[in-house]
Amino acid sequence: MNTVNNKNLISTAAVAKLLKISRVAVFKKIKSGELMAEKIGRNYVVDSKDVEELTNPMVTSSNNKMKIEKALDRTVNEYRETLELLGKQDTAK
């Protein structure tokens, strides 16, 4: 991965704080392979880019973007009438 001198590496404690989860949850993500980490001594460090992708996976994954667009299209098609009524009701206030 990266060297210790790389400023893009952050500790598991910092990752936990950024993700608003416990350190144990961070270690579980590392163990499951959901989060890539490098062991340095007794500690793990994570590349900040990996954390960024984990915090916003929908934006970084074109596959997820396609799934979202498909779900949105389906919702609009199925609930078009209801959505139009809600829009009219909101503008009447």
Residue 17 and residue 11: Cα distance in Å, rounded? 10
- Give the count of domains, the chain: 2
pLDDT tens figures, 38-63? 999 999 999 988 888 777 655 556 66
Residues 27 and 48 in one domain: yes
Q: Which pLDDT band holds residue 28 (cuts at 50, 70, 90)?
A: very high
User: What is the overall mean pLDDT for the chain?
Assistant: 82
* Cβ atoms of residues 4 and 40 within 8 Å: yes
- Structural element, H or E, at residue 87: helix 62-92
- Note whether 6 and 44 are same-domain residues: yes
Distance CA 80, CA 83 (A): 5
Question: CATH number, domain at 28?
Answer: 1.10.10.10
- pLDDT above 70 coverage of the chain, percent: 80
Residues 11 and 42 in one domain: yes
Task: Provide the residue range defining the domain that includes 86.
Answer: 57-93
Residues 61, 21 share a domain? no
Whether this model's pTM surpasses 0.85: no
